[in-house]
Every structure is written in C-alpha cells, then in structure tokens.
C-alpha cells in the first residue's frame, strides 16, 4: 500500500505522507500542504479533520467501539470505579492498589473549597442556570490557586492543580444544587468515596440523616465512567484549543464546560426531558413530534437522537439503558415521560427517515431519565455530564501540554469584499 497521498492543485502535484494509527486509522499529514502548494483545506465542523494524534481514547463510530487506553467501555463500566478510570485517562495506565490508595487519599484531602467561593454564589442572581455558575466557579479556582496560572511550572505543580480540580468539582457541583434551593451547604465528608460524597453533599439535608443507596452510587459511578472521555468532541477540542495558548487548566476546563452547555452537545440531556415533558403536556402523541422532526420546514429535532460519529449504535447508550431499568425498578418510579420515551424510541427505530440517516438514541437520551429518577432537577443534568467528563478533559489538556503542541490557529478561506477605499460617513 502506498505510504503517501498525491494531490494535484491547479497543476501542481505534491506528495503528502500518510499517518496510520494503532487501530489502522489512516490520516493524511497535510502539515506541508500550504508551504508546498499555497492551498489550505476547508472542512466545516471538522467532519474529516483530525486535530491531533492521541493515546487516550479510541472510537470506531461504525462498529460502536469506545475504548480508553485500550480498555473497552463495557468492561470499565462493569468493573472499574470512577477514580480508577480517571487515573487511567490522566496517567495512561490503571493504578495498582498502592497507586490507587495514594490517588484516592490525595483527592479526598482536597475536597473542601475556599469559603470565599460562597461569596461568588451569594452574588449570583437567584434561579440562574447551573452551567453558567459552573463555568464561573471553575474559572475562579485560578484566583484561589495562583500557582496554576503558569501551566509550565513543573510536573508536581501540574498534578497538584489537577488533583485540586478533580477533588473540588463534586463539592462545587453540590454547592450549585444547594444554592439553587437556598439550603445550607453540606460539607464534604472524606470518609466517603468520590461518588458517595457527591450524592451526600447534594441530597443530604443538614437536619436529617441521608441513606446513601448503593444502587444509586453504582448507577452514578457507571454514568460518570460512561461520560469520562470521548476523544476530540466539541468540548475536548475547546479545552485543547484554549489550553494551547498556555491558559491555565481551570480556564481551559471552564471553556470546555461552556462548549458542553450547548443543546447539540451535553446540553441535550436537559433538552430530552423538556421535550418528553412537552410531548406529555401536549397529549402524549409521540408520532406528532416524530413527524415534526422529519419536516424540513420545521427546525424541531428529536433531542437525544443522532450522533456525529456513532452511525450504528452508541455503546454508552446501550449500557445506560440497562442501568436505567435497574434504577427505575429499585426506586419504583412511575414516570409518564418514560412511557413516551419508550414509544418514541420504538417508533424512531423502525422509521425509514431515521434508519436512512443512521439516527438512534444517544447517551443523552437515557441519562436524563436516570438523573430525573434519582431526584436531580433537569437544569443540573449538564452539570452531571461535566462532572463525569472532567477526567477526560484533564487528560486531553495534559497530553496536549506534554506533547508540546503548538498554539491552535486554524486557517480560513476569506469570502468577504476585496480591497476598497474608505468613504467618509457623510459621503456614504
């Protein structure tokens, strides 16, 4: 097989090397294209463009494969705990017992946030969206920990910044929940593990005991693992792009959270439940909404369906669907929107419009149903996605920094007016 790609641009031929990944993915290395031909490539939405090489996550959208550092998502979701997966993503290997205990202890030691963070919450308008708060709170950590401002200040300092962020994220997410309802905070309790601690800080009322249900801990652990990384999506690419200017980790992750917020990305989990509720309020006619989604003159889309890279099934959705059944059975939830979700799913999976376009339920379709059954308000759903995705963003940022990748600076094809002379305002 040829190791190069030949390209002929306006009669000028050049040969470009091929890059073959460890799973035999083939890419054309175009780094010399502009120098040799004067041309650039154009690929709206980066549908065919690799922005980096990476050792972290392998994804085959046709085959429905997702692996982190070689381990399948199915096995990780079944056998690992979230901090173990976080360690794997960030450090490259699964921790042995000693490494795990050290990692876990370090994270437990850093769960508390500076009390002044509450002052920022106090200044926030009541009822504002949790994602807006999360973006600001994570970015504010750079002010509390100025050593993070220089991301090149050595491996030890970098790992301290990473540990702090992982440790404080659940505390901040729980603070958002408590502040939204005007309740006193529940402080982290470091005898609890990462997931238990988060559930306890979120759902415990200071005046009452709270039983941390192992079924919910297990479901939450699984959900967080399933969200932990997804290679070069919109938010991970944002983290890498912002970080490539050597902005600090907190600023880079905050930018990733902003990218996640949109309804076409992580914001879809909130939109799924809102859509199901709207269908329920409108009489429960799922077909009416399927028809709307198919109508090209109607901007409505079925939220929680379709994916840029998965074209047969989303392996995360398969695992979550099973987990949803377990949680709902355990909690004895009788949710009318669940019936609508089932009807919608069945109808879509046999509808030629969706079959032809390879649209099927994605991870956000089922995660919202579980989060709701667990008692999270819909506005918190995308925050939960961010909580799970954090190790992936950190791993992407760390890899980019360690590889000393250049600042991200895409090219463009200019399509505006050609040169013209300035005309004074009075003469225009």
Could you give the CA distance from residue 49 to residue 366 in angstroms, rounded to a whole number? Answer: 30
| Interface segment toward ligand CMC; rule CB under 6 A; list 133-141, 186-194, 305-313, 407-415 | 305-313
Residue 307 annotated in active site:
yes
Work out whether 231 is an interface residue with ligand CMC (CB under 6 A). no
What are the backbone dihedrals phi and psi of residue 406, each rounded to the nearest 5 degrees, phi first? Answer: -70, 165
Alpha-carbon gap, residue 324 to 75, rounded angstroms: 18
The 8-class DSSP code of residue 60 comes to: E
325 is catalytic: no
**Which residues are 18's β-sheet partners?**
28
Q: Which stretch binds ligand CMC (CB under 6 A): 104-112, 125-133, 260-268, 319-327?
A: 260-268
Binding residue count for ligand CMC, defined by CB under 6 A: 20
Residue owning tokens 């073959």: 20
Length of the chain: 428
Residue 364, burial from CB neighbour count under 10 angstroms (0-12, 13-18, 19+): buried
CB of 322 to ligand CMC, least distance (A): 18
Chosen residue from 151, 306, 315, 368 binding ligand CMC by CB under 6 A: 306
Catalytic residue among 307, 314, 351, 403: 307
- Report the residue from 242, 302, 320, 344 that binds ligand CMC according to the rule CB under 6 A: 302
In 3D space, the residue among 61, 12, 56, 47 whose CA is nearest the CA of residue 33 turns out to be 12
- Least separation, in Å, of the C-beta of 45 and ligand CMC? 6
The residue among 44 and 422 lying less far from ligand CMC, judged by its C-beta, is 44
Stretch that binds ligand CMC, among 19-27, 100-108, 306-314, 368-376 (CB under 6 A): 306-314
CA distance 38 to 24: 30
Residue nearest to ligand CMC (CB): 306
Contacting ligand CMC within 88-147 (CB under 6 A): none
Question: H helices of 82-129, where?
Answer: 82-91, 97-109, 117-122
Number of Cβ within 10 Å of residue 178's Cβ equals: 18
Nearest residue (CB) to ligand CMC, 201 versus 348: 348
Q: Which is nearer to ligand CMC, 82 or 305 (CB)?
A: 305
Q: How big is the chain by its Cα radius of gyration, in Å?
A: 23
Q: Which residues participate in catalysis according to the annotation? A: 307, 364
Binding site for ligand CMC (CB under 6 A): 230, 233, 264-266, 268, 293, 301-308, 357, 359, 362-364
């Amino acid at each position: 097989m040829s190791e190069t790609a030949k390209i002929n641009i306006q009669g000028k031929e050049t040969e470009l090397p091929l890059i073959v990944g460890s799973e035999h993915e083939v890419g054309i290395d175009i780094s010399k294209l502009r120098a040799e031909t004067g041309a650039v490539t154009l690929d709206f939405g980066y549908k065919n463009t690799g922005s980096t090489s990476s050792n972290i996550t392998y994804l085959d959208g046709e085959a429905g494969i997702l692996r982190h550092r070689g381990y399948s998502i199915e096995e990780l979701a079944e056998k690992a705990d979230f901090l173990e997966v976080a360690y794997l993503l960030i450090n490259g290997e699964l921790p042995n017992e000693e490494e795990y205990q050290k990692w876990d202890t370090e994270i437990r030691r850093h769960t508390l946030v500076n009390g002044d963070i509450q002052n920022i919450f106090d200044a926030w308008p009541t009822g504002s969206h949790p994602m807006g708060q999360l973006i600001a709170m994570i970015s504010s950590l750079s002010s509390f920990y100025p050593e993070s401002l220089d991301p090149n200040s050595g491996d030890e300092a970098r790992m301290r910044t990473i540990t702090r962020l992982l440790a404080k994220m659940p505390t901040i997410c729980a603070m958002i929940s408590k502040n939204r309802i005007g309740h006193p905070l529940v402080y982290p309790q470091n005898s609890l593990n990462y997931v238990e601690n988060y559930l306890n800080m979120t759902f415990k009322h200071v005046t009452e005991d709270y039983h941390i249900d192992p079924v919910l801990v297990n479901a939450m652990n699984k959900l967080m693992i399933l969200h932990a990384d997804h290679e070069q999506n919109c938010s991970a690419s944002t983290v890498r792009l912002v970080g490539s200017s050597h902005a600090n980790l907190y600023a880079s992750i905050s930018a990733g959270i902003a990218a996640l917020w949109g309804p076409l990305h992580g914001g879809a989990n909130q939109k799924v439940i809102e859509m199901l509720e709207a269908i329920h309020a409108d009489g429960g006619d799922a077909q009416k909404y399927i028809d709307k989604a198919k109508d090209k003159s109607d901007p409505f889309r079925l939220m929680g369906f379709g994916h840029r890279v998965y074209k047969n099934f989303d392996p995360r959705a398969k695992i979550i669907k099973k987990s949803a059944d377990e949680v709902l059975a355990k909690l004895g939830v009788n949710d009318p929107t669940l019936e609508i979700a089932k009807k919608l799913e069945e109808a879509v999976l046999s509808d030629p419009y969706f079959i032809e376009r390879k649209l099927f339920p994605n991870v956000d379709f089922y995660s919202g149903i579980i989060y709701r059954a667990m008692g999270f308000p819909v506005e918190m759903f995308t925050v939960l996605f961010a909580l799970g995705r954090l190790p992936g963003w950190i791993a992407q940022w760390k890899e980019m920094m360690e590889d000393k990748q250049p600042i991200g600076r895409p090219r463009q094809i200019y399509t505006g007016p050609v040169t013209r002379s300035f005309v004074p305002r009075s003469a225009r």
